[in-house]
Amino acid sequence: MPADHPGAPDAHEDRVRRPRPPGTFRIGQIGGVDVLVTSSWFLIAALISVALAPVVEETQPGLGAWKYLAGVAFAVLLYLSVLLHEASHALVAKRLGYPVASITLHFLGGATAIEGEARSPRHEFWIAVVGPLTSIAVGLVAIPFWMLLPDGLLQLAFMGLMMANLLVGVLNLVPGLPLDGGRVLKSVVWGASGNQHRGTIAAGWGGRVAAVAVLAWPTLLDPIFGVQPTFVDFLLAVVVAAFLWAGATAAMQGARLRRRLPSLVARGLARRIVTVAGDVSVAEAVRLAQQNGAGAIVTLTSDGRPMGLVNEASLVAMPEERRPWVPVSSLSRGLEDGLSLPASLTGEDLIRAITRKPAHEYLLLEDDGTIFGVLATADVDRAFSQR
């Protein structure tokens, strides 16, 4: 199953539990990584149960309604193997020093949220390839159980486990994004050309070719295998092809956007500041800012340490007649964790920092702790769109 792009390590992020996306349930952790299940999984479990009911009834007659429970048990077993696939992505990524936000099981399988971009082709290769290899290994381990067990539900379960994992492992090695094989292709092209962007574009086109092939597959069943395609075959082909095409397109667009990131430099986007005590009136703070040609106001404590950032939108919204009577601290936001950033941040590190702690303004500091300026999110967005 596809793993999200890996990125630079952040020890603090690993210790903080992130909010769950809507519609997901946390069922535990593996190696410190949250395991989430989407509500869509329950739908696919029910569909698997209904689809397998006739096979279960044929294998073990007389179960009655219990045959549906056997189908649910198989769905759970199948998704445990998917979890092993995703956990292998997560554990290898953490081993290589990348933060992993979560593992999510959903109706199409699973996804591992590894943040950002890989730092080298070798890392990209190993994080990607370990998932399909794990699925193939699970399928191979299931073979002797399927062959040695007597006829019955257990043998049926191991046969399904074998077939599903071998199929998932092999198909995930198809060289196209968003499949793991696409990331393998990306790492190979990246390593050969020295250009990560070129690797992503090549793998993205591979994903689009795979999407077209999947869409055409039902029409080939009759001429190649003599099997008449059903409505379900066409429906599945459309769903999987749409998933592949959308994932490949998103990856290609993301690669083009990331080409612009190196030109984003926090220091170059910083606004000049004026510093004032928190009890100074808004009118006086604005006068000082205009006098000094400053684009931002920072409030200080009595001993001269930065205390807060004055919000530009709140300042503009305040009527002028009230400004002489309102302390500027009432319009400022305290400097919580994540609102003070190094002035040296650039590119993807800069985007990651402001995404981690969304705000309108950030205080930029030099390495020695002195104030350099204020970074406004609006300025970052404007600079990115212009580039």
Distance of CA 62 to the CA centre of its chain: 46
For residue 68, give Cα distances in angstroms to 51, 121, 182. Answer: 9, 46, 37
The torsion angle over the Cα atoms of residues 243, 354, 98 and 342, rounded to 10 degrees, is 160
Q: Could you check whether the bond before residue 19 is cis, i.e. omega within 30 degrees of 0?
A: no
Q: Which residues pair with 38 in a beta bridge?
A: 24
pLDDT at 139: 95
pLDDT at 4: 55
Q: Which of 171-175, 295-299, 301-305, 371-375 has the lowest mean pLDDT?
A: 301-305
Q: Note the pLDDT tens digit of each residue in 69-114.
A: 888 888 888 889 999 999 999 999 999 999 998 999 887 788 898 8
pLDDT at 16: 43
pLDDT at 232: 82
Residues 249, 250, 254, 255, CA torsion sign? negative
* Domain 266-386 falls under CATH 3.30.200.210: no
pLDDT at 347: 82
Tell me which residue of 324, 333, 320, 318 sits closest to 282, measured CA to CA.
324
Mapped onto helix, strand or coil, the DSSP state of residue 22 is: coil
Q: Note the pLDDT tens digit of each residue in 48-75.
A: 888 888 888 887 787 777 888 888 888 8
11: pLDDT strictly greater than 70 = no
If you search the block for the tokens 């689009």, which residue do you land on?
A: 208
Mapping DSSP onto H, E and C, the string for 50-92 reads HHHHHHHHHHCCCCCCHHHHHHHHHHHHHHHHHHHHHHHHHHH
pLDDT at 19: 61
pLDDT at 324: 92
Token duo for residue 260: 């612009």
Q: Locate the domains of the chain by residue range.
A: 11-261, 266-386
* Contact yes or no for 199/193 (Cβ under 8 A): yes
Cα 318 from Cα 331, distance rounded (Å):
9
Averaged pLDDT for residues 176-201 = 93
State the DSSP code for 357: S
pLDDT at 126: 96
Q: Note the pLDDT tens digit of each residue in 295-350.
A: 999 999 888 889 999 988 888 899 989 999 999 989 988 888 889 999 999 887 88
263: pLDDT strictly greater than 70 = yes
* Contact yes or no for 129/188 (Cβ under 8 A): no
Burial class (CB in 10 A: 0-12, 13-18, 19+), 370: exposed
Q: Note the pLDDT tens digit of each residue in 226-244.
A: 888 888 889 989 988 998 9
* Contact yes or no for 107/37 (Cβ under 8 A): no
Q: Which residues pair with 29 in a beta bridge?
A: 34
10: pLDDT strictly greater than 70 = no
Tell me which residue of 212, 244, 239, 214 sits closest to 107, measured CA to CA.
239
pLDDT at 12: 39
Q: Note the pLDDT tens digit of each residue in 130-157.
A: 999 999 999 999 999 999 988 888 888 8
Token duo for residue 238: 């459309």
